[in-house]
Amino acid sequence: MANEYNLDVNKRDAQSKSDLKQMRKENKIPGVYYSHDSKQSIALYINTLDLTNAQKSNARIFTISVGGKKRNVLFKSVQYHPVTDQVLHIDLYGIKMDQLVSVNVAIELIGNAKGVIEEGGILTQGVSEVEIECLPSNIPDNITVDISHLALGDVLRVEDVEKKDSFSIKTSLDQILASVTQAMKEEVVQEDVVEGADDSDTSEGAVSEEPTDSKNEEKENEWK
């Protein structure tokens, strides 16, 4: 069952980008509150320390005061700085405890695949989370999946996850969660030694190389 946590939020006025930047320097994280029946969102901010403590609580449901009323919310979206991982913005989504919600939940792989231990394969994890639908009080911390039985060549998909009455999975059933594949073997290429080569082609101490293409290009490559 999901834990609840009291979170202090503060209302704010609509602000420019420079104002929001200054707010973050003051350890205040801008955000908005909305719900399925909201006509418009409500701008707010959360002190960085309060947000940090909320994240450490491992809660999924948070209680806030909006417009003088207590409301239950989920962290619907959290935006991070791509380099520093600083929280830049947060969306709080209002919920009702007797209505279904859709959330993403982490997949935790447990056990040691026999295809890795006994057959020398490599375990590859697919998606790390799935979307589920359930009542707010039934949101699990994660979904554990036992991979001990996976042999070399086996694939575990969403459809293989044990069904629960407390939630239903909305992610495609064909989505791969884990697989065990053959380990890649390094190939050693030995060059043939050509005896009696003409002195005009090679000389003692000289290394003959094949031309290389200098134009090769290198490809660079949701809390809740």
The H or E element containing residue 55 is helix 48-56
pLDDT of residue 38: 79
Instruction: Report residue 53 as tokens.
Output: 């403590």
pLDDT of residue 23: 92
**Distance, CA of 33 to CA of 91 (rounded, Å):** 6
Per-residue pLDDT tens over the stretch 169-190: 999 999 999 999 998 765 555 5
Domain boundaries defined on the chain: 4-96, 102-181
pLDDT of residue 192: 52
**Distance, CA of 34 to CA of 198 (rounded, Å):** 81
Dihedral sign, CA of 44, 50, 55, 60? negative
Confidence class of residue 218 from pLDDT cuts 50, 70 and 90?
very low
pLDDT of residue 219: 40
The H or E element containing residue 10 is strand 10-11
CA-wise closest residue to 74 among 135, 144, 30, 143: 135
pLDDT of residue 69: 84
Per-residue pLDDT tens over the stretch 87-128: 999 999 999 999 999 999 999 999 999 999 999 999 999 999
User: Residue 15 above 70 pLDDT?
Assistant: yes
Q: Which CATH class, in words, describes the domain spanning 102-181?
A: mainly beta
Contact by Cβ (8 Å): 24, 88? yes
User: Residue 221 above 80 pLDDT?
Assistant: no
Residue 46, C-beta contacts closer than 8 angstroms, at least 6 positions apart: 7, 8, 9, 10, 28, 29, 31, 54, 90
Lowest mean pLDDT: which of 20-24, 173-177, 195-199?
Answer: 195-199
User: Residue 137 above 70 pLDDT?
Assistant: yes
Confidence class of residue 212 from pLDDT cuts 50, 70 and 90?
very low
Predicted TM-score (pTM) of the model is: 0.70
Per-residue pLDDT tens over the stretch 96-105: 999 999 999 9
In CATH terms, the superfamily for domain 4-96 is Ribosomal Protein L25; Chain P (2.40.240.10)
Confidence class of residue 210 from pLDDT cuts 50, 70 and 90?
very low
